[in-house]
Amino acid sequence: MDNRIAEMRESLLAGRHHALRHRIAWNLAETFAAQKTPAEMRAAAALEAVLAAELPAFLPGERIAFLRTVANLPELYTPQEWEELRARYSFSEKGIPFNFTPDYASAIHIGLDALATNISQRIEQARQDGDSEGASFLAAGLRGVQAVIDLAERYRIAAEKEGLAEIAANLAVVPRKPPQTFLQALQMFRILHYALWCEGSYHNGTGRLDLTLWPYLQHDLQNGTLDRASALALVEEFFLTFNRDSDLYVGVQQGDNGQSLMLGGCDRDGNDVWNLFSELALEASCNLRLVDPKINFRVSERTPIERLELGSRLTRAGLGFPQYSNDDVILPALQKWGYALEDARDYTVAACWEFVIPGVCHEFVNLDAISLPQAVLETMEQSQAADYPSFLHDLAADLRSRAKALLAHYENLTELPGPFISMLCPIAIQKARNITQAGKYHNWGVHGTGIAVAADSLTSIRQLVFQSHQLTLADFAQICKQNYAQHQDLLAQVRNTIPKLGQNSPEADRSLDDIVALWQHAWDGLQNAQGGIVRPGTGSAMYYIWHSRNFPATPDGRLQGEPFSANYSPALDVPVDGPLSVIRSFTAPPLDGVSNGGPLTIEIHASVFTAPDAEAQLAQLIADFVRRGGHQLQLNSIDRDTLLDAQKHPENHRDLIVRVWGWSGYFIELDKEYQDHIIRRAEMTLHG
């Protein structure tokens, strides 16, 4: 990191640019309501208004422009309208496009002028076809494209006035024309990504940047205008841009903003993807040590160990990424779910870890979650099973009914249009519809929360109820509901003598196999309201906290209100044998039926990295995970003492980054509940 980048980084972290922001007292919704403005035109008018209100601003030293100066976005509907909408429809989260990665390359490679021409021609076609709905939608999209061009022009003029010749020259090319240099490509990406947030879309993934941006970098390397060092500085500055406005992108917690980037894997034809951009991305992230963009890395049995070592170097930096996904599992899983091979090969992650195909569809991959421990506990109360297989049968029926109830709840699922984001998806232009409708696939993703607690509970039930006949299902359920009161001996027994996941126990691992199979098959043959299927996953999102709050004790010895582990990981407070045993347990079941996303998370104590060859050995661990058929892996390097000190003295730990559930954030910005969960996870770190 050179001085210029270091100073820009410091300035960003200090938030000096926040002084350039202003808030606007928007009242568009009232006007829209009064005029009964159609949904797509509301989105278009709002984007125009936001971009028109933007004031071109430049940060000292920058070469890639565009900064959010409008701090707040307008509402598109009045509270009363929202009430009516929610009475008629169900929505996923805010009801607008999110958790989504468009096809940035489709616009970057041709430029916005050509894109606008394409859209105009398609509007004409729609009119000729009598498709007024389509024509109106495309017209809304076109307004967005034009508004982006207009703002870029105002930026260009301002840059010229301020003597920022390079920025002005670049903006004379992009976004209207295709970029001619790597820097222009970065500038264009920045503009598009920035505009998506201005339209209101959130959790906007960046997609596969070593595919999108490599041709431009390659070009500049070949003609000698860039070398490795100057390219690295550009990638570093580009990565800084993802942190300029990220404090405005609030998710459930600060940092949960979905700016995820994918490296590696293969292209649509199956060719290996790995180039200098991939390497520079890992290096830039390692140097910058910022929460955005969050790096993901597609690997397979064929990935050279040296690449995994590069990834391990970034893990060592303690940012909680890269997160790995295993193509050997994910590609077949996606194909099994009906994705065409070339689409499957193009997968990326939506925001945290849900696998999506960029640009060709917008699926609700983070729709909702089902608590697996709740299913276990409630089945215990109802079931008359005389043996373990019968109990599993009853549990399967319970999960099936939960699956159906969830689908019924979302029978009227809809989404408000994102015309601009749709214009970055050629299929949406072609079909003249919002990407959600126009997309090639319409599958939904549902998380299964508390999978380790559920699996460990099954082991307790099998051993105590059906093998030793120590107590009945109903009694066990009752004891759980009473939080093991008066049954401390049983609590000790289940905690200390029943094997758990991660403890080198085939008996415990068998239970994971059982619950994974039940979770997968609960969705067999069910169709969602859009005509797609449901993809069950092993992620938890924030539900590991939400579902466990006030939830009764469980047969694995977890007490009332104690949190579940995040995602696909050993239960909290369970002493595991080590990372090899954890990987064995969590790769025991076939995972290609539950691959919506949701990583095995392994916490490694920061002191491990004092070993000189730690990166090489971490690479071996990742390779072992891949070879064993794991689907997704998240490795965190943390130190409990540092976390505790940060809780006490946040002022000394401004830069401390931690992985939360599928994203990394600044520790001191998290709610205490999430901080405490990470500290509990840190107690179980592996020392190596």
Comparing CB distances to another protein, the nearer of 88 and 648 is: 648
Give the 3-state DSSP-derived string for 451-515, with helices as H, strands as E and coil as C. Answer: HHHHHHHHHHHHHHHHHCCCCCHHHHHHHHHCCCCCCHHHHHHHHHHCCCCCCCCHHHHHHHHHH
Among 80, 617, 649, 652, binds another protein (CB under 8 A): 617
Nearby residues of 328 by Cβ (< 8 Å), 6 or more positions away: 300, 301, 626, 629
Which range binds another protein by CB under 8 A, 313-321, 457-465, 575-583, 663-671? 575-583
> Which parts of 243-272 interact with another protein (CB under 8 A)?
none
Measure Cα distances from 532 to 236, 348, 441, 528 in Å: 40, 20, 7, 5
**Closest distance to another protein from the beta carbon of 101 (Å):** 34
Among 162, 613, 655, 673, binds another protein (CB under 8 A): 613
Q: Is 621 in the site for another protein (CB under 8 A)?
A: yes
Question: What type of residue is 599?
Answer: P
- Phi, psi (degrees; rounded to nearest 5) at 538: -110, 15
Q: Treating both helix axes as pointing N-terminal to C-terminal, what angle do 672-683 and 640-648 enclose, rounded to 10 degrees?
A: 150
Comparing CB distances to another protein, the nearer of 317 and 686 is: 686
Which range binds another protein by CB under 8 A, 368-376, 560-568, 579-587, 669-677? 579-587
Comparing CB distances to another protein, the nearer of 38 and 578 is: 578
Among 113, 131, 577, 645, binds another protein (CB under 8 A): 577
Among 88, 163, 612, 648, binds another protein (CB under 8 A): 612
**Closest distance to another protein from the beta carbon of 477 (Å):** 19
Spell out the long-range contacts of 678-683 with Cβ–Cβ below 8 A and sequence spacing 24 or more.
678/638, 678/643, 679/640, 679/643, 679/644, 679/647, 680/563, 680/572, 680/573, 681/565, 681/566, 681/572, 681/601, 681/603, 681/636, 681/638, 682/603, 682/638, 682/639, 682/640, 682/643, 683/573, 683/640
Which range binds another protein by CB under 8 A, 461-469, 526-534, 563-571, 611-619? 611-619
* Contact by Cβ (8 Å): 175, 151: no
Which range binds another protein by CB under 8 A, 187-195, 290-298, 613-621, 632-640? 613-621
List the x/- string, 452-491, binding to another protein by CB under 8 A.
--------------------------------x---xx-x
* Contact by Cβ (8 Å): 567, 538: yes
**Closest distance to another protein from the beta carbon of 115 (Å):** 49
**Closest distance to another protein from the beta carbon of 106 (Å):** 42
Q: Is 79 in the site for another protein (CB under 8 A)?
A: no
Number of residues binding to another protein, judged by CB under 8 A: 32
Comparing CB distances to another protein, the nearer of 62 and 509 is: 509
**Closest distance to another protein from the beta carbon of 614 (Å):** 5
Among 38, 332, 578, 629, binds another protein (CB under 8 A): 578
Which range binds another protein by CB under 8 A, 288-296, 307-315, 409-417, 572-580? 572-580
Nearby residues of 106 by Cβ (< 8 Å), 6 or more positions away: 115, 359, 424, 425, 426
Q: Could you please report the per-residue DSSP string of 183-195?
A: HHHHHHHHHHHHH
**Closest distance to another protein from the beta carbon of 678 (Å):** 18
> Which parts of 5-44 interact with another protein (CB under 8 A)?
none
Query: 260: helix, coil or strand?
Result: strand
Q: Do strands 323-326 and 632-638 pair parallel, antiparallel, or not at all (unpaired)? A: antiparallel
Question: What type of residue is 255?
Answer: G
* Contact by Cβ (8 Å): 439, 361: yes
Q: Is 642 in the site for another protein (CB under 8 A)?
A: no
Among 169, 405, 492, 644, binds another protein (CB under 8 A): 492
Helices (H), 536-671: 543-546, 579-586, 614-627, 640-648
Rounded CA gap, 359 and 348, in Å? 10
Beta partners for residue 375, in sequence order: none
Comparing CB distances to another protein, the nearer of 446 and 614 is: 614
Q: Is 493 in the site for another protein (CB under 8 A)?
A: yes
**Closest distance to another protein from the beta carbon of 256 (Å):** 30
Q: Could you please report the per-residue DSSP string of 364-391?
A: EEEEEEEEHHHHHHHHHHH---SSHHHH
Comparing CB distances to another protein, the nearer of 454 and 635 is: 635
List the x/- string, 504-533, binding to another protein by CB under 8 A.
x-----------------------------
In the numeric block, the tokens 């009064």 are attached to 34
Among 370, 438, 614, 679, binds another protein (CB under 8 A): 614
**Closest distance to another protein from the beta carbon of 574 (Å):** 9
What burial class does residue 128 get, using C-beta atoms within 10 Å of its C-beta: 0-12 exposed, 13-18 middle, 19+ buried? exposed
CA-closest candidate to residue 246, choices 255, 236, 237:
255
Q: Is 580 in the site for another protein (CB under 8 A)?
A: yes
User: What letter would DSSP give residue 266?
Assistant: B
> Which parts of 646-665 interact with another protein (CB under 8 A)?
none
Comparing CB distances to another protein, the nearer of 112 and 621 is: 621
Comparing CB distances to another protein, the nearer of 592 and 615 is: 615
**Closest distance to another protein from the beta carbon of 659 (Å):** 19
* Contact by Cβ (8 Å): 348, 340: no
Rounded CA gap, 366 and 363, in Å? 9
CA-closest candidate to residue 661, choices 444, 407, 366:
366
**Closest distance to another protein from the beta carbon of 641 (Å):** 10
Query: 158: helix, coil or strand?
Result: helix
Torsion of CA 643, 646, 648, 649, to 10 degrees: 160
Q: Is 644 in the site for another protein (CB under 8 A)?
A: no
Query: 94: helix, coil or strand?
Result: coil
Comparing CB distances to another protein, the nearer of 136 and 312 is: 312
Structure tokens at 472: 């009945």
Among 128, 610, 648, 651, binds another protein (CB under 8 A): 610
**Closest distance to another protein from the beta carbon of 620 (Å):** 4
Among 68, 203, 362, 495, binds another protein (CB under 8 A): 495
Q: Is 83 in the site for another protein (CB under 8 A)?
A: no
Question: What type of residue is 437?
Answer: Q
**Closest distance to another protein from the beta carbon of 683 (Å):** 8
In the numeric block, the tokens 């210029």 are attached to 4
**Closest distance to another protein from the beta carbon of 483 (Å):** 12
Q: Is 558 in the site for another protein (CB under 8 A)?
A: no
Among 31, 72, 132, 497, binds another protein (CB under 8 A): 497
Comparing CB distances to another protein, the nearer of 384 and 497 is: 497
Where on the chain is the footprint of another protein (CB under 8 A)?
A: 484, 488-489, 491-493, 495-497, 504, 573, 575, 577-581, 608, 610-614, 616-617, 620-621, 623-624, 686-688
